[in-house]
Copies of this chain bind each other. A is one copy, B any other.
Amino acid sequence: MESEGPLAGSFDYLSEDSYFGAKSWESAESTMLKKCFDLLTTKAGITADTLDYIFTGDLLNQCVGSEYAVKESNVPLFGLYGACSTMAESLALASMAVDGGYANMACAMTSSHFCSAERQFRLPLTYGGQRTPTAQWTATAAGALIINNDDTGPYVTHMTAGKIVDTGVCDAGNMGSAMAPAALETICQHLADTGREPSYYDLIVTGDLGFIGHQILIELSEQANIDLSANCTDCGMLIYDKEKQDVHAGGSGCGCSASVLAGYLLPKMRNIEIKKLLFAATGALMSPTTSLQGESILGICHAISIEDRRNEI
Contacts and interface: CB of A to CB of B under 8 A. Distances in A.
A67 to B, nearest CB: 4
A72 B163 CA distance: 9
Given A27-B293, A63-B81, A53 B287 contact: no
Interface string A156-186: 0000111110100000000000000000000
Interface in A69-109: 70-83, 89, 92-93, 96-97, 99-102
B161 A26 contact: no
B26 A290 contact: yes
A164 B77 contact: yes
Contacts of A160: 76
A83 B67 CA distance: 11
Nearest to A62: B287
B81 A57 contact: yes
Interface of A: 23-24, 26-27, 53, 57, 59-64, 67-68, 70-83, 89, 92-93, 96-97, 99-102, 120, 160-164, 166, 285-290, 293, 295, 298, 300
